[in-house]
């Protein structure tokens, strides 16, 4: 098993810090600059909390996978579908497809005894499929330089079919949550020992952190699927999963 975790910064503070204190500390400890909200008419929080992700497994509308027609033809022919990884999407210069911050977080774990703040990257052992939560939007399709789409109409069936093909150890799906930063706050076990520096720092916050996006991407209204495997992934992967076809329909 090879799961890399990169710990950039780690500090322990008094318990019950408020949002302003967390933001101030984070700004000082890692020269963190908060991006501007590109759509000022939308109220977007500065930081995210684990509670923000409750009930996000249920999409608002349809779950649409945008792509190019020839790739969609191949999927409905033999189940061929491309899955990405955090490192794969870090490489893209296209501002719609690429995201240099995938797999990078500021995690704030709270309990009655302390507040633990960790700047960390990880989760590189996840395959990912990025979709759109909503009716097809030609403007969004064009921005991705795609020309077609299909709908995933049985989310559970589709997720499990892909999981079986990958022999995944875990899977999760959710709408993405958008904030001005990738700071996420959650509860940490009271028995967590802050004196032991280990790969467990990535678990200060639950797996919802992998669905946190900065607000410059909020127009994408992303619905994301993740499948966890034992080892890190450096690139994309094309699999054949004919079992998944029956859970989807063409436009």
In the predicted model, residues of the chain with pLDDT beneath 70 are: 1-2, 29-42
Q: What is the pLDDT of residue 24?
A: 87
For residues 184 and 109, give the distance between their C-alpha atoms in angstroms, rounded to a whole number: 9
Q: What is the pLDDT of residue 27?
A: 79
Residue 201, class by beta-carbon neighbours within 10 Å (0-12 exposed, 13-18 middle, 19+ buried)?
Answer: buried
Nearest-5° Cα angle at 51, 46 to 55: 115
Domains identified in the chain, total number: 1
Q: Domain range spanning residue 181?
A: 6-250
Q: What is the pLDDT of residue 33?
A: 57
CA atoms within 13 A on the CB side of 9: 16
- Please answer whether residues 213 and 132 qualify as being in contact, where contact means their C-beta atoms are separated by less than 8 angstroms: no
For residues 93 and 63, give the distance between their C-alpha atoms in angstroms, rounded to a whole number: 25
CA 84 to chain centre: 12
Percent of the chain with pLDDT over 70: 93
User: Is 195 within a domain?
Assistant: yes
User: Is 153 within a domain?
Assistant: yes
Whole-model pTM? 0.90
User: Is 74 within a domain?
Assistant: yes
User: Is 1 within a domain?
Assistant: no
């Amino acid at each position: 098993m090879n799961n890399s975790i990169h710990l950039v910064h780690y500090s322990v503070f008094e318990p019950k810090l408020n949002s302003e204190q967390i933001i101030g500390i984070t700004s000082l400890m890692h020269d963190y600059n908060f991006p501007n909200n590109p759509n000022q008419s939308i109220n977007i929080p500065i930081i995210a909390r684990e509670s923000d992700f409750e009930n996000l497994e249920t999409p608002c509308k349809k779950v649409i996978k945008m792509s190019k027609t020839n790739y969609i033809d191949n999927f409905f022919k033999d189940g061929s579908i491309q899955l990405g990884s955090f490192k794969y999407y870090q490489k893209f210069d296209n501002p719609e497809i690429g995201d240099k911050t995938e797999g990078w977080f500021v995690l704030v774990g709270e309990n009655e005894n302390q507040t633990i703040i960790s700047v960390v990257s990880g989760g590189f052992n996840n395959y990912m499929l990025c979709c759109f939560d909503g009716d097809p939007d030609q403007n969004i399709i064009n921005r991705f330089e795609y020309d077609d789409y299909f709908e995933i109409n049985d989310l559970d069936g589709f997720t499990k079919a892909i999981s079986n093909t990958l022999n995944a150890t875990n899977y999760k799906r959710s709408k993405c949550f958008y904030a001005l930063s990738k700071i996420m706050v959650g509860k940490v076990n009271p028995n967590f020992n802050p004196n032991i520096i280990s790969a467990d720092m990535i678990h200060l916050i639950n797996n919802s952190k992998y669905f946190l996006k900065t607000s410059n991407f909020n127009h994408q209204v992303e619905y994301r699927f993740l499948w966890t495997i034992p080892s890190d992934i450096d690139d994309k992967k094309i699999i054949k999963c004919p079992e998944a076809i029956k859970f989807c329909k063409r436009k």
